[in-house]
Amino acid sequence: MKKALKIIGIVLGVLIILIFLAPILFKGPIEKAIKKSINNNVNATVSWEELDLSLYKSFPDALVTLKNLSVINKEPFAGDTLASGEEIKLSMDIPQLFKSGDEPLSINELILNTAYVNIKVDSLGNANYDIAKKTPPTSTQDTVSSGGLSLDVQHYEINNTRINYLDQKTKTFLKISEFNHEGTGDFSAATTKLETTSEGIISFELDSINYLKDHKLKLDADFELDLENQKYTFLENEAYINQLPLTFNGFVKVNENNNEIDLTFKTPSSDFKNFLAVIPETYAKNLDGVETTGDFMLNGSIKGIVDETHIPQLDISVKSDNASFKYAELPKRVENIRLDAVLKNETGLVEDTYLNLDQLNFQIDQDVFSAKGNFKNLTENMLVNLAVNGTLNLANLKKAYPIDLEMDLNGILKANFTTNFDMNSIEREQYQNVKSNGKASITNFKYVSPEIPNDVNIAKASLNFNTTKVALEEMQIKSGQTDANISGSLENLMGYLFSDQDLKGRFNVQSNTFSLNDFMVASAEAKTETTQENKVSATSKEEAIKIPSFLDARLDFTANKVLYDDLTLTNVKGAVIIKDETAKLENVTSNIFGGNIGISGNVSTKNTTPTFDMNLGLKSIDIVQSFNGLEIIQTMAPLAKALQGDLNTTINLKGNLNNDFTPIIASLAGDAFAQILDAKVNSEKTPLLAKLDGRLDFINLDNLDLKNLQTNLSFSDGKVNVKPFDFNIKGINITAGGSHSFENVMDYTLSLDIPAKYLGSSVGGEIAKLSASDLETMTVALPIGLSGTFTSPNVNVNTKQAVQELTQQIIATQKDKAIDKTKDKIKDLLGGGKEETTNTTTKDTIPTKPKDKEDKIKEAAGNVLKDLFGKGKDKK
């Protein structure tokens, strides 16, 4: 007995040792066998980062865990990810570990955690999940030895998985997120019962029409599996779409060339609460305590063959009669609800699917609203025939249904119109094929939003539907100080509503007062700017203002008065063209600053950073008013602060904008031309002129005459560059030029052509040699350098250079005069003062006293040299 126990103990000890050593001993062969099985059967690249093998966690089975698994397609979906998962667990009998790579592995349990499955079918019908290798028929012995993966699964799980299904051929898109599914059954038997539970969030779209959007799906179902014939039949089951219960009967059978479907479904009860239950819970809220009357029935059948050319025949009907509901916490009841709709396909051809809305009525208080119509040829060129008639107090919607909106609904909506069109005509903008007739209006509508400081009140807005256009007959708006009357037309309202097209239109806007301040909210964060540096880089932390991308419109406007910040513009006219997230200003004119302004250009929010490109023309504007009202004038010409008068200027400017549409100063580029019509200077207004005036005793800057002064400027790299220009002060010509940064750091030079008399004390005795006329006519350039800032300037008057230049001029003048004097003396000697004797007989002239003439020439030459070389000492 002791010997037997000892043997059993040894065996158990060996088994325990083997259990712990197995992962080390068999991990390599197991991984090699799995890879070989996959390569023999799958036409895809399958890889994983790590393989773990355990015997004691799942004893008596072996547990193989593949971590970070991925399946990458080959042609024709090369590079696409078919599936990926955080981990996949395979449970198998321990003897499977000892099979060679040529023998099939049998899997008992499969668990997939946190996976992504991406299924695609292209326009030619190729499916990316069709990755099983096609092998030619072989002998039984070859089949046995070829190796494979046998799924004798008893239980499987898919946890926290996302599944996408896209069929480009049928334009079908199915998305399931947060998907959890598990099933238990014996897949080794020919016929078995499979018990499943499933839940997830489902969205379904067919030919760009969204039928389900983030609907919660739950299904507890038992199936009879005929694995030999690939027929799967619904047994006991219950499904929920959101909170709508459904039961199913029928089967799905997979054939060699097609799939066969025969399913029916219905609501297990006819309570109208079922209708509210199909609405996503986010919008329908909790249905507990909701009072309902009347019935609601959903019945459907899906029968037929699914192949490359056919879909199942459909007959799905929704009906409700004389129903009502009331939420306990809300004051209003929705009653007299009648609904009759059917989705059908009687041929199995996808283009023959149609939807009939025979009746949709409801009533809140005394307001009755109804609609009916039909939608044919849903997947090709959909034909729409719709009629709407009724009155609705929009404020009652929130009082009857728990709808969450960022704005309060209000106003009275009235509609009575019909429309008939096909989608191809809408998409091709062939609006002559659209047949619409009737009217719609809204009165006493108030728009309230935290994005604007004042309520927007629409006293009345009315639309008139006709064949080609929808006319906006009138719209009366008031907000804060703003009033506006708008009329115009919408060219493609149906294209905007049904085909995701841009909304096109042309409008006329008339206003007595239009205050842009009524539609602007100052960001608290953006108001912290206190220095010029902050202004350069400040951007609002709020969401940027965006020009609507869907709008393609022209607005012709006139306004008696437009208010923007502290500016007042009068007699404003022009047009705004909005397209492609860009607002283009065209022929905008206005009176401002005692003159007028013309504006053209554009503002775009198409890129992440908004941009602008503007041309401004200002004529006869008051310099003081424009300097105080326009930051660009302060940046362009800080010295204008000291001027009083009128100005003409043209400015071409482009750059980037902050989120609140204020310019980013450092990004500005462009050029400008300025002409001062008439201006007086008050040098005390700016530190620069005051300091310059104090350094120049011979000029009084307050007496500057700048009439018709012209200058050209350019903007780039954060600087204002001023092209050299000339002006005159009391006979003194001045040339100025240079640049200053947007932080007002200066680098300017002035050159003053001043008369010589202003430098008399600096030049000393030399200037005494000049005559009175020379003192008035002789000028010299006096260079002045300006640096520092406009508020703390540095003025460098280069008198030394001017004195050196004047001294050279005086010396040159004296030389020129000496030379001229010498020339006159030589001329006198050579051409005059000669004593001659005339022979009356021969008439020959005989010079006399040659000795005296020679002496005079020598004396004159000496004087010339003495004058030229500086009155030197007499030399013997």
What pLDDT does 534 receive?
Answer: 41
What pLDDT does 749 receive?
Answer: 85
Residue bearing tokens 């404020």: 395
What pLDDT does 228 receive?
Answer: 84
Q: pLDDT of 713-770, one tens digit each?
A: 888 888 888 888 887 777 778 888 888 887 888 888 888 777 766 655 555 555 555 5
Which of 318, 311, 314 lies closest to 301 in space, CA to CA? 314
Which of 270, 269, 287 lies closest to 279 in space, CA to CA? 287
pLDDT band at 870 (very low <50, low <70, confident <90, very high): very low
| Beta strands 259-266 and 44-47, pairing class | unpaired
**Residue 405, pLDDT above cutoff 50:** yes
Peptide bond into 76 cis (omega under 30): yes
What pLDDT does 387 receive?
Answer: 93
What percent of the chain is predicted at pLDDT more than 70?
73
Non-local (6+) Cβ contacts of 463 within 8 A are 439, 440, 441, 470, 471, 472, 473, 490
Q: To 5 degrees, how large is the angle CA 530–CA 534–CA 537? A: 160
Q: Can you tell me the distance from the alpha carbon of 354 to that of 346, in angstroms, rounded to the nearest whole number?
A: 10
Q: Do 242 and 284 form a contact (C-beta atoms < 8 A)?
A: yes
To 10 degrees, the CA torsion angle through 702, 707, 711, 713? 60
**Residue 242, pLDDT above cutoff 60:** yes
What pLDDT does 797 receive?
Answer: 78
Least confident of 138-147, 216-225, 288-297, 514-523: 138-147
pTM confidence score: 0.59
- What one-character DSSP code corresponds to residue 71? E
- Positive or negative, the CA dihedral 654, 657, 662, 666 is negative
DSSP secondary structure, 382-403, as one string: -EEEEEEEEEEETHHHHHHS--
**Residue 702, pLDDT above cutoff 80:** no
* Count of beta carbons in the 10 Å neighbourhood of residue 338: 17
Amino acid at the residue 19:
I
Q: Do 350 and 382 form a contact (C-beta atoms < 8 A)?
A: no
Domain ranges of the chain: 807-868
To 10 degrees, the CA torsion angle through 215, 220, 222, 223? 10
**Residue 14, pLDDT above cutoff 50:** no
What percent of the chain is predicted at pLDDT more than 90?
17
Q: Do 683 and 642 form a contact (C-beta atoms < 8 A)?
A: yes
SS (H, E, C) 583-625: EEEEEEEEEECCEEEEEEEEEECCCCCCEEEEEEEEEEEEHHH
pLDDT band at 391 (very low <50, low <70, confident <90, very high): very high
Q: Do 181 and 163 form a contact (C-beta atoms < 8 A)?
A: no
Maximum average pLDDT range among 12-21, 57-66, 246-255, 561-570: 246-255
As a whole number, mean pLDDT of residues 637-649 equals 77
Q: Which phi and psi angles does 691 have, rounded to 5°?
A: -70, -40
Task: Identify which has the larger pLDDT, 293 or 409.
Answer: 293
What pLDDT does 110 receive?
Answer: 87
Amino acid at the residue 727:
F
Task: Identify which has the larger pLDDT, 208 or 290.
Answer: 290
Which of 643, 638, 610 lies closest to 624 in space, CA to CA? 643
Q: Can you tell me the distance from the alpha carbon of 73 to that of 789, in angstroms, rounded to the nearest whole number?
A: 67
Q: pLDDT of 248-280, one tens digit each?
A: 999 999 888 888 999 999 988 878 888 877 776
Q: Can you tell me the distance from the alpha carbon of 675 to that of 672, in angstroms, rounded to the nearest whole number?
A: 10
What pLDDT does 342 receive?
Answer: 94
DSSP secondary structure, 85-124, as one string: EEEEEEEEEGGGGG--TTSPEE-SEEEEEEEEEEEEE-TT
Task: Read off the tokens for 291.
Answer: 């009072």
Q: pLDDT of 351-366, one tens digit each?
A: 888 999 999 999 999 9
Q: Can you tell me the distance from the alpha carbon of 458 to that of 443, in angstroms, rounded to the nearest whole number?
A: 7
Q: Do 386 and 373 form a contact (C-beta atoms < 8 A)?
A: yes
Strand, helix or coil at 818?
helix
Q: Do 45 and 55 form a contact (C-beta atoms < 8 A)?
A: no
Q: Can you tell me the distance from the alpha carbon of 317 to that of 270, in angstroms, rounded to the nearest whole number?
A: 13
Q: Can you tell me the distance from the alpha carbon of 622 to that of 820, in angstroms, rounded to the nearest whole number?
A: 56
DSSP secondary structure, 534-565, as one string: HHHH---SSPPP---TTEEEEEEEEEEEEEET
Non-local (6+) Cβ contacts of 795 within 8 A are 688, 691, 692, 695, 784, 785, 786
What pLDDT does 372 receive?
Answer: 94
What pLDDT does 151 receive?
Answer: 56
Q: pLDDT of 442-474, one tens digit each?
A: 999 887 766 567 788 889 999 888 766 788 888
Q: pLDDT of 657-692, one tens digit each?
A: 887 677 887 788 888 888 887 777 766 677 777 777
Q: Can you tell me the distance from the alpha carbon of 484 to that of 508, in angstroms, rounded to the nearest whole number?
A: 10
Burial of residue 201, with CB atoms counted within 10 A of its CB: 0-12 exposed, 13-18 middle, 19 or more buried: middle
Which of 165, 169, 203, 126 lies closest to 311 in space, CA to CA? 169
Q: Can you tell me the distance from the alpha carbon of 801 to that of 19, in angstroms, rounded to the nearest whole number?
A: 102
Maximum average pLDDT range among 336-345, 609-618, 628-637: 336-345
Mean pLDDT in the chain?
77
Strand partners, 864: none
**Residue 232, pLDDT above cutoff 70:** yes
Q: How many helices (H) and strands (E) does the chain have?
A: 15, 41
What pLDDT does 356 receive?
Answer: 93
Residue bearing tokens 């030079």: 749
Q: Can you tell me the distance from the alpha carbon of 307 to that of 751, in angstroms, rounded to the nearest whole number?
A: 91
SS (H, E, C) 181-223: EEEECCCCCCEEEEEEEEEEEEEEEECCEEEEEEEEEEEEEEE
Q: Can you tell me the distance from the alpha carbon of 184 to that of 197, in angstroms, rounded to the nearest whole number?
A: 10
CA-to-CA separations, 782 to 658, 724, 734, 794, in angstroms, rounded:
45, 16, 9, 16
Q: Do 415 and 440 form a contact (C-beta atoms < 8 A)?
A: yes
CA 711 to chain centre: 39
Non-local (6+) Cβ contacts of 804 within 8 A are none
**Residue 245, pLDDT above cutoff 80:** yes
pLDDT band at 873 (very low <50, low <70, confident <90, very high): very low
